[in-house]
Structure 1
Amino acid sequence: MERLSVHLFGGFRADRGMPPQPLHLTRTAQHLFAYLLLHRRRPHPREVLAGTLWGETDDEKGRACLNTALWRLRKVLEPPPVPRGTFLLTTSSGEVGLNPDAPLTLDVAAFEENLRGVSAWSEATPDPWETSRVEKALTLYQGELLAGFYEDWILEERERLHCLYIDALTGLMYAHKHHGNVARSLETALRILKEEPFREDVHLVVMRLYQETGQRFMALRQYEKCRRSLEEELGIPPSEKTRRFYESIRPPRRTSSKPPPPLEPPDDAPLRHALATLKHALETLERVHRDVMEAARTVSRLFEEGHQSPPDGESSALGSSEPSEPF
């Protein structure tokens, strides 16, 4: 019998056979089938199914919607000659469930099985032999559960599986780090931050990995990303632990190198006063010199014209007509 392959991560998709042939199900049939797949370990009373999937309607209408969706789903899953009950079981009390022996594969089931026990991983006690199994499981997570569906029960399952996905990535990050595979550890850490940028513990791991590989600039830049994410997402600053590591790798602050203040010029008032006095004295001496020269020339001219000699004692005072310079 041809097997079914059902994918719920990233949206709803169901195929049958090889090569795969898509199954065409109505929206309500997809809704019902997804619920039965995600709660595959037990049958469900019809009133519970109707209340969960069509809770916005009254009981009678909800029950009618359930019967219609169940009929359409069975028509696609169990067309002749597929025996009735191959995929869908109905108990004597009317409960509906998925046949645990149904020939199908489900991405969510394989994902959960491969990640069993991963939440117990820690940085101190990674379980290396599980690494390949976890990596295989992570390839199945192709997006959020049943993208495009927004019913309450789907949102709850979506969050649960998303947390399991993040736990697996976190365990894998620490496992790679523990075994010295820095590149893989860093790659995994960045995948976590893409999903949850507010994870301060992962930011700190990234900072340390960058620092260990000599990429201090990248480590410092990661701190800024951490600080912005925490402020935008949670309205809080980084913890003291993160800040201490940042301070330990940050270049030392440059001390202030302001130039010294200019020296005050000396008080030059006395010098200016002396220079002014000297200038005034020189000007006065020059003026007196001119007056003496003019008077001497006048006296000489007058005595020459009158053929008189100067009074005794005055000639010596006159001296020559060109007295020497004062300096």
Structure 2
Amino acid sequence: MLRVIIVEDEEPILDLMERLVGRHPMLEVAGAFTSPIEALERYSQLKPDAAFLDIEMPKMGGIELAEKLKAIDEELQVVFTTAYPGYAVDAFRVSAVDYLLKPVTPDDLERVAGRLSKNHSLRAGNREPAEEAVPSVRCFGTFETRGAGGGMVNWPTRKTEELFAYLLAYPNRLVNKWQLSDLLWPDLDEERGLHNVHNTVYRLKKALKAAGFSLELGSTNEGYHLASGAEFSDFGRLREFLGRSAKIDGRNAAEAKKLQLSCRGTLFGGKDYAWSAGIAAEASAQQATLARMLAAWHRGQGDLASAKDVLSLYLGHELLDEEMNAELLRLCAESGDAAAFCRHYESYRRLLEDELGIAPSAAMRELAASMSR
């Protein structure tokens, strides 16, 4: 786990960043500061591995702070956050790991955490032996396939990767070869389309075998099927969990929490596959079901704080979900956290106005009015 400090002069944004970073399984918040001067003074005591720095701050900007921190510890990894894209050149002058535009999302943090962890392992010389890694596929927030050695699978063509995504989305069922031709090459005639399907299946088999996957990609005269266990992908594990768990209790709560942390973001990282809208909606509904079940379990345990954390984590990538926003506001009201209620309500109200041109529901407005009295 990497120790992280966060420096952001706007307290609501600092609170949000602290929650996002604190929930990530690879990161630990070592310190959070609104003052860059205080962060600099405390640095040697905290000894962080990485720093998330706002660029625009009074008295000392993030780039100047980064230069001073790197002078103390040249191994420090720096990530800049800003509302303005014009600082990129200056940011990378001080060897920033990344440059994030506000508001920072869980998907942004997931990408950055991977970079930070990889850099840290390389510098510390403690990378796990390749033979210990097992083949795996991440489908939420990205589409990333890693082989038995832990390295990324380099697909021979984009269509090979897309075919794999489709077969993962619909595993253990026969997929008609003419359907695949229409989905992947809609502009080609039948003969050329089927030829491409055959060649791409061949490339996919070779790539999976080379990566050490034990998946069976079978074929018949009518089409192809991928025999895939749930353990290979985050999407598969989520489906399998919801298929066997009608509710969350003490026996499966830890598994559910781990699943929610790993299954964040849009399916396939929002790749623009023409066929993926339906399966992405299904995946989003499953993410919502998991969050709803987990929040309900925490509420039943009397742990309203954890229930709020679950909903906040889900809303980090499904900002406009009305039901979940309403439930989070109710939890804030029940716990007497008026400040958190007001912050979230105002953020949601502005989002609805900016994105959809509408106001919160009448029930939400009434609840907000009662909280302001």
TM-score normalised per structure 1: 0.63
Structure ranking higher in strand proportion: 2
1:201 and 1:100 map into 2 onto residues whose CA distance is 34
For the structure 1 residues 61 and 99, does the alpha-carbon distance in structure 2 shift closer, same or farther, using more than 3 Å as the test? same
Q: Which runs of 5+ in 2 are unaligned?
A: 1-132
Task: Tell me the SS of whatever aligns to 1:144.
Answer: coil
Shift of the 113–45 alpha-carbon distance from structure 1 to 2, 3 Å rule, reads: same
Q: Is the 8 A contact 2:140 2:234 kept in 1?
A: yes
Q: Do structure 1's residue 87 and structure 2's residue 209 form an aligned pair?
A: no
Equivalent residue in structure 1 for 2:344, among 207, 222, 242: 222
Q: Do the aligned residues in 1 keep the contact of 2:231 with 2:237 (CA within 8 Å)?
A: no
Amino acid at match of 2:237: A
Letter paired with 1:87: E
* Cα 1:54–1:77 shift into 2, 3 Å: same
Q: Partners of 1:32 and 1:225 in 2: how far apart?
A: 39
CA contact (8 A) 2:265 2:317 kept: no
Distance 2:362 2:182 in 1: 49
Q: 2:237 aligns with which of 104, 110, 117?
A: 110
What is the aligned partner in structure 1 of residue 107 from structure 2? none
> Radius of gyration: which is bigger?
1
TM-score by length of 2: 0.56
Question: In 2, Cα distance between the equivalents of 1:28 and 1:192?
Answer: 31
Matched-pair contact (CA < 8 Å) for 2:136–2:145: yes
**Which of 300, 303, 306 is matched with 1:181 structurally?**
303
Distance 2:358 2:292 in 1: 23
The answer as to whether partners of 1:12 and 1:30 remain within 8 angstroms in 2 is no
Letter of the structure 1 residue corresponding to residue 190 of structure 2: D
Shift of 1:180: 1.3
* Partner Cα separation in structure 2 for residue 112 and residue 71 of structure 1: 28
Amino acid at match of 2:362: E
Deviations 1:279-323 (A, max 9, x none): xxxxxxxxxxxxxxxxxxxxxxxxxxxxxxxxxxxxxxxxxxxxx
2:137 counterpart SS class: strand
How far the C-alpha of 1:112 sits from its partner, in A, is 0.9
Aligned partner letter, 1:137: L
Equivalent residue letter for 1:48: Q
2:216 is matched by which residue type in structure 1? F
Instruction: Report the AA paired with residue 249 of structure 1.
Output: M
Aligned to 1:197: 319
Letter in 2 for 1:89: G
Q: By how many angstroms is 1:94 displaced? A: 4.6
Deviation for aligned residue 1:225: 3.0
How far does the alpha carbon of each residue in 1:34-68 deviate from its partner, in whole angstroms, 9 at most, with x for none?
22222112122221211121112221221121122
Please list every run of 5 or more consecutive structure 1 residues that lacks an aligned counterpart in the other structure.
252-327
Q: CA RMSD in A?
A: 3.3
